[in-house]
Amino acid sequence: MVTVFRALDDQTRRVILDELAASDGKTLFEICSILTTRHGLGLTRQAISQHLGLLESAGLVVTERRGRSKFHYFNPVPLSEITRRWPITERND
Amino acid sequence: MRINLTSVYVDDQRAALAFYVDVLGFTKHRDVPIGEDSWLTVVSPEAPDGPELLLEPSGHPAVKPYRDALVEDGIPLAQFAVNDVEAEYERLTGMGVEFTQPPTDIGVSVIAVFDDTCGNLIQLIAEKPA
């Protein structure tokens, strides 16, 4: 299990989450083409696959099979760990 | 030298012919019986003298693991050019075709990926006007 903090400590992984949050349910091929063409990130498919694996291990990405293809979805639930640990409270000073 | 033929592996040649002709709109070019199968090709009506696409039987044992791995990751095996990806997406989804990737703007062009019902993913591409 990878912590949510480690998963977020990488620019490529944050961009992947941005793209999945904007429009969910993407194949590895679609994520690769978006990272290359929209963000100029010329990573190998294997590298992107590893980033997705790490995000999945942290629970920030979940995968689902539809037909014979695998789709990746953003799961924001682990992010609540951050505000639970450091609640946002009103300051009166 | 020029490219005159390329192929996709199909699980059922007759079903594939129906999809590639009736749904996609290609034209049957050759249909020559060879044993239990056929040398079966289609061409685009927009380029009848252009490259032929061979609908090749997928019986070889190497085909299934190869295609399964590509389809799992959403990787297309062939690319067809259209004038308007969005219009084709609407037309084909209306005919029951399933897309693994909706029309996606990648800067110089728009792409989309659909399942050809014969075991392959196919990419549509339209160059954007300069």
pLDDT at A93: 62
Burial class (CB in 10 A: 0-12, 13-18, 19+), B23: middle
| Domain limits for position B116 | 5-127
Domain of B111: which CATH number? 3.10.180.10
pLDDT at B5: 97
How far apart CA A44 and CA A47 sit, in angstroms, is 5
How far apart CA B107 and CA A66 sit, in angstroms, is 28
Higher local confidence (pLDDT), B96 or A2? B96
pLDDT in tens, A65-81: 999 999 999 999 999 88
The residue of chain A with its CA nearest to that of B114 is A69
Q: Are A51 and A31 in contact (CB under 8 A)?
A: no
When divided into structural domains, chain B yields a total of: 1
Please check the confidence at residue B83 and state whether its pLDDT lies above 90.
yes
pLDDT in tens, B23-46: 999 999 999 999 999 999 999 999
Q: How far is A73 from chain B (nearest CA, A)?
A: 14
pLDDT at A88: 81
pLDDT in tens, A13-54: 999 999 999 988 999 999 999 999 999 888 999 999 999 999
- Of B126, B127, B118, B122, give the one whose Cα is nearest residue B15: B118
How far apart CA B11 and CA A91 sit, in angstroms, is 66
pLDDT at A12: 96
Using CB atoms and an 8 Å cut-off, which of residues 73-102 of chain B contact chain A? 73-76, 98, 100-101
The residue of chain B with its CA nearest to that of A24 is B101
With cut-offs at 50, 70 and 90, classify the pLDDT of residue B19.
very high
How far apart CA B12 and CA B80 sit, in angstroms, is 21
Cross-strand bridge partners of residue B112: B124
Domains and CATH numbers, chain A: 4-77 (1.10.10.10)
Q: Is A8 on the interface with B (CB under 8 A)?
A: no
Please check the confidence at residue A90 and state whether its pLDDT lies above 80.
no
Spell out which residues of chain B touch residue A33, defining contact as CB-CB under 8 Å.
Answer: 104, 106, 111
